[in-house]
Amino acid sequence: MDAYERITRNVSEVVTEDEVRALAEQPEGKRAYVGYEPSGVLHIGHMLTATKLIDLQEAGFEVTVLLADVHAYLNDKGTFEEIRETADRMREQFVAYGLDEERTEFVLGSEFQFDREYVLDLHALELETSMARAERAMAEIKSGETAKVSQAVYPLMQALDIVYLDVDLAVGGMEQRKVHMLARDTLPSIGEEAPTCLHTPLIADLSTGVGKMSSSAGVTISMEDSTADIREKVNRAYCPPTRDPEPDDDGNERENPVLQIFEYHVFPRFEAVVVERPEKYGGDLTYDDYESLAADLESGELHPADAKGALAAYLDELIAPGREMIRSE
């Protein structure tokens, strides 16, 4: 796998392809970043982008993780003291999950976002941005039903963070796309380059396959789940014997979240996946790639229950280091 293939593996979008190909020509020493609100325990959404950061490190990138304490405060996620305690825990969990500590810089937003130059640049971006555009950028990531002034400033700060962290590649889930497009549109107005962006997929709701999995609604999987928790959640997950499920009764499109987790979390971290089965049901199945596993589910060779059993085991192996870290405190 060449650098470009590793950088773009399992991504939904790159902006732009030419810019990412240019980075892939000489990835050593290039810098990528993701920003996370320290608003709770590390969960499967964080873990998806973290898996992509591991890919980028293997391609040669240095990684910056912005623990965005100021953003979390503006998004009404608690006091600074509460948020910073969560940030410390998240830092430890990211390393436990597999980020290379030697090649990962963890930065609190408050370390630079109160500096005079940053604030003046932020005001300059505010002059270039309508309230409607800022609200659209924030729509998929804001807390609460009513937009607040603080939340309108939030996406402009994300744009400016790319400049002040001096990164070559901004990474985020597809819910960050509008923010990154705002950054590409507005940063040139203050003399900065439009950022190169990479967007990872969103995992569907575990119970229904509709919408996205969320830690604030429905069932999610976190770095603090026990082995039994993981097994129970995966066993209850929506997993039809197909990779392309039919819409639900209301016409909403569905995804197969079990297959998504195999594709975006498990196969990037393991060379092969073994599905254990009794001999009377055909014995163990070994898969070297996601497509083979998905094809066997579609054909009926792999039963959803067996797929779930394997998924729970591999997820538990990925999550165990974070869980053990908590027990040792």
Report pLDDT digits (tens) over 43-101. 998 999 999 999 999 999 999 999 999 999 998 899 999 999 999 999 999 999 999 99
Instruction: Centre a 10 Å sphere on the Cβ of residue 132 and count the other Cβ atoms it contains.
Output: 9
Instruction: Output phi, psi for 172, to 5 deg.
Output: -170, 170
Report residue 99 as tokens.
């980020």
Buried-exposed string 317-326: b where 16+ CB fall within 10 A, e elsewhere: ebbeebbebe
Report residue 313 as tokens.
């085991």
The rounded distance, in Å, linking the Cα atoms of 227 and 229 is: 5
Question: Which of 21-30, 40-49, 129-138, 145-154 is least confident?
Answer: 145-154
Please report the DSSP string for 123-145 in residue order: HHHHHT--HHHHHHHHTTT-SSS
Question: SS3 for 28?
Answer: coil
User: Where in the chain does DSSP place strands (E)?
Assistant: 13-15, 31-36, 62-67, 104-108, 169-173, 197-200, 273-275, 285-287
Pinpoint the residues of the chain covered by CATH 3.40.50.620.
Answer: 3-200
| pTM exceeding 0.95 | no
329 has a pLDDT exceeding 70: no
pLDDT in tens, 208-236: 999 888 765 557 899 999 999 999 999 99
pLDDT in tens, 158-195: 999 999 999 999 999 999 999 999 999 999 999 999 99
Fold annotation for 3-200: Rossmann fold (3.40.50)
Residue pair 190/7 in contact by the 8 Å Cβ criterion:
no
Q: Look up tokens 């992509």; give the residue.
A: 52
Residue pair 234/308 in contact by the 8 Å Cβ criterion:
yes
Question: SS3 for 286?
Answer: strand
pLDDT in tens, 257-309: 999 999 999 999 999 999 999 999 999 999 999 999 999 999 999 999 999 99
The rounded distance, in Å, linking the Cα atoms of 304 and 290 is: 15
Nearest to 112 by CA among 153, 78, 160, 154: 160
CA 318 to chain CA centroid, Å, is 15
Which DSSP letter does residue 263 get?
Answer: I
Query: Dihedral sign, CA of 322, 324, 326, 328?
Result: negative
Question: Which of 141-145, 245-249, 279-283 is least confident?
Answer: 141-145
Counting Cβ atoms within 10 Å, is residue 280 exposed (0-12), middle (13-18) or buried (19+)?
exposed
Pinpoint the residues of the chain covered by CATH 1.10.240.10.
Answer: 227-327
Fold annotation for 227-327: Tyrosyl-Transfer RNA Synthetase (1.10.240)
pLDDT in tens, 86-122: 999 999 999 999 999 999 999 999 999 999 999 999 9
The rounded distance, in Å, linking the Cα atoms of 68 and 62 is: 19
The rounded distance, in Å, linking the Cα atoms of 310 and 75 is: 37
